[in-house]
Amino acid sequence: MSREKILAAVAKNKPALTPLPEIQNFGNPYADLAEQFKSVLTAIGGEVVVVKDWDEIKTYIETHFAGQRIVTNLTALSATALNSWLNSDPHSLENVGLAVLQGQFGVAENGSVWVTETEMGQRAAPFIAETLALVVKKSEIVPKMHDAYTRIGSASYGFGAFIAGPSKTADIEQSLVLGAHGPKSMLAFLMD
Amino acid sequence: MNHADAAEKFNKDFDRTTWHDETLWWVRQKRDRAAFAIPEWEALRETASQIKHNVLSELDNYLIEFEKNAQKNGITVHWAADAHEHNEIVLSILKSQGVTQMVKSKSMLTEECHLNPYLAENGVEVVDTDLGERIVQLAGEPPSHIVLPCIHWKKEEIGVLFHKHLGTPEGCADPILLTHAARENLREKFLTRRVAITGVNFAVAETGEFVVCTNEGNADMGAHLADVHIACMGIEKIIPKREHLGVFLRLLTRSATGQPITTYSSHFAKPRAGQEMHIVFVDNGRTTQLGREEFRNSLKCIRCGACMNTCPVYRRSGGHSYHNAVAGPIGAILAPNLDMTKNADLPFASTLCGSCSNVCPVKINIHEQLYEWRQVLTKSGHSPMAKTLSMKAMSAVLSNPAVYRLSGKIGRFTMANAPFVVNNSLNPWFKQREMPEPPKESFGEWYKKNRSE
């Protein structure tokens, strides 16, 4: 009922058709995409760890996250964590200390990383963990959001997110606090 | 209480008003730095404005396209003509789940529809999970700003509030400790509530997906842990294509807080396995506004709050003085559409300086619409009686040269010899102002004298 009423009211009241503008790309102003990505992500509270290979990531995790519950769906790191979490109730991820996931690509202008449900393993994983680590290849960084959506194209996903740094809030007197509801820290393993 | 009275009350605490003013101006400056760092900023604003104009001219078709694609994705789409129908739809979903408790992330639409009190009356407990919204909810207030809901609260006051409700140590006013206390408390809610409501920043017709932007991650914590996700949106939140997100996500957070992007820009396309996902489209006066040619551009708004942060009146009167879910300049052009009688004062709560229009990321001509609303409201008899009478008196004086000259003489004589007649608390022009030195004569008198010599 309301559907038809609303659609009829829109049809009656809408202005004359105006065309969609063409979306420009505005080019790439960054000499070094990885450097730009790193500097922006660091400025917004993330941490960037430059690594050569998976072994370096393993060593880093063992050094910094020993004793914590670690979840990952990355086969290269499977010795570090179990895969059984993938089919568990998402509420059971509540005590995860570190989630290590693959990021599809990074965006230089804002330090964000595009991750879809496929890489997340579980939708809740990147949000519920105390620390989120995303693996991003240096060669997989695009300049701006226009390039990001060109790259995503018409890909089908159930859920996807640009993630830029740790969860944060400045609701109390504009004082920035990391770790609002999601991860208290977020790091990107920037890999050669 | 109308805006002027509420603003006067707010201004009683001089230091607090100054603090409020400076805090928001600081946010505005952050916005400037972010915007000026993008050489194509103006081109982006123009593109965004044109996309939104196309949306208004094709809105019915985009809604149908979104509905078709969302349904294909497994999302249930509901249509609500007004606030009441929206609230009923949400309640019916909750009832079908047998649920009496739920979490909600920020949604100005649900504020506009007064969903929380409606659900409370029907025995449903809603927990707002955005920190700022949680603070004002515990205090029994509505948000005072669409992006910074408790911008009017001081940390010491939040400390007292949290001591009472969350058991933080007495006297604790540290933002980190208070935030983490709220985190612990709300995590329990996220883990136990089966239904989550979120707002919608953008809904893409082409794909049937919707995007929710938060810094805290509360929308995601709610949605991904709940069995049922309900997303509520005004029908104007539709954008045609996924690639348009590239334009809007570049503008939104830079305009709002000066960040390059929110921490999370979450794209919900399909429910996760075993989950139910609902979208509620809400009209609630939007189609009426669409038909008002001089005001329809207000529907382009992406709710960044930049117009509030820059507004000299908002900064020094506080969001609550606007008595509307959306405050500030944009609220003042949206509210009269909902209720002309109740909101007739709002378009007058402006200096018409135009700063709001200058910062608007979708180039809404806000100050021009404020001026237009004043004319519409006055012509339709909604302006306050005192204003109508004084305008009529002024018109009579200005249209008759003899009366005008006489009034000037009386005015100068009064100010020179009996200033207390005008310089008293009954005359708002002299509130917080010094009396000017009255001139000895008018220009007309001076001219006549000097010409004859």
A48-74: average pLDDT: 95
Q: In chain A, whose CA is at the least distance from the CA of B283?
A: A6
Residue B333 included in any domain: yes
- In tens, the pLDDT along A175-187 reads 999 999 999 999 9
> In the prediction, which pLDDT does A81 show?
64
Residue A16 forms part of a structural domain: no
- Quick one: B256 and B367 in the same domain? no
Question: Do B164 and B232 sit in the same domain of this protein?
Answer: yes
How big is chain A, counted in residues?
A: 192
**pLDDT above 80 for A140:** yes
Q: What is the mean pLDDT of residues A16-38?
A: 96
Question: Does residue A6 fall inside a structural domain?
Answer: no
Q: What is the total count of domains within chain A?
A: 1
Say if strands B276-282 and B228-234 run parallel, antiparallel, or are unpaired.
Answer: parallel
Around Cβ B363, how many Cβ atoms within 10 Å?
A: 19
Domain boundary among the residues B355, B383, B411 is at: B383
Q: How far A174 CA lies from chain B's nearest CA (Å)?
A: 8
**Res. A78 pLDDT band, cuts 50 70 90:** confident
Spatial separation of the C-alpha atoms in residues B343 and B140, rounded to whole Å = 22
Check whether residue B148 and residue B244 sit in a common domain. yes
Domain-located, residue B224: yes
Task: Tell me the shortest Cα–Cα distance from B145 to chain A, in angstroms.
Answer: 11
Q: Do A146 and B243 count as a contact with CB atoms less than 8 A apart?
A: yes
CATH number at residue A57: 3.40.50.10420
Beta pairing, strands B264-268 & B209-214: antiparallel
* b/e B275-293 (16+ beta carbons within 10 angstroms → b): bbbbbbbbbbbbbebbebe
Same domain assignment for residues B90 and B22: no
Shortest Cα distance, chain B CAs vs residue A93, angstroms: 10
Q: Is A95 exposed, middle or buried (0-12, 13-18, 19+ CB in 10 A)?
A: exposed
Say if B300 falls within a structural domain: no
Asked if residue B391 is part of any domain, the answer here is no
pLDDT in tens, A79-88: 666 678 999 9
pLDDT tens per residue across span A46-57? 999 999 999 999
pLDDT digits (tens, 9 = 90+) for B408-426: 888 888 888 887 777 777 7
CB contact under 8 A, B54 and A19: yes
**Where a domain ends, among B344, B359, B383?**
B383
Q: Which residues span the domain enclosing B343?
A: 1-37+310-383
pLDDT > 90? residue A31 = yes
Last residue of a domain, one of B383, B411, B439: B383
> Is B226 within a domain?
yes
Q: Are residues B124 and B206 in the same domain?
A: yes
* Per-chain mean pLDDT for chain A: 96
pLDDT at B387: 77
Same domain, B278 and B372: no
Asked whether residue B181 is assigned to any structural domain, the reply reads: yes
Q: What pLDDT score was predicted for residue B431? A: 74
- What's the confidence (pLDDT) of residue B429? 74
Radius of gyration of the CA atoms of chain A, in A = 20
* Total domain count, chain B: 3
Is residue B61 situated within a structural domain? yes
Residues spanned by the domain of A100: 31-191
Query: How many percent of chain A have pLDDT more than 70?
Result: 98
Q: Which residues of chain B have pLDDT under 70?
A: 452-453
For residue B117, the Cα-to-chain-centroid distance in whole angstroms is: 20
Q: What is the pLDDT of residue B432?
A: 72
- Asked if B217 and B125 sit in the same domain, the reply is yes
Separation of alpha carbons B436 and B194, rounded Å: 65
Are residues B203 and B330 located together in one domain of the fold?
no
Structure-block tokens of residue B54: 């196309």
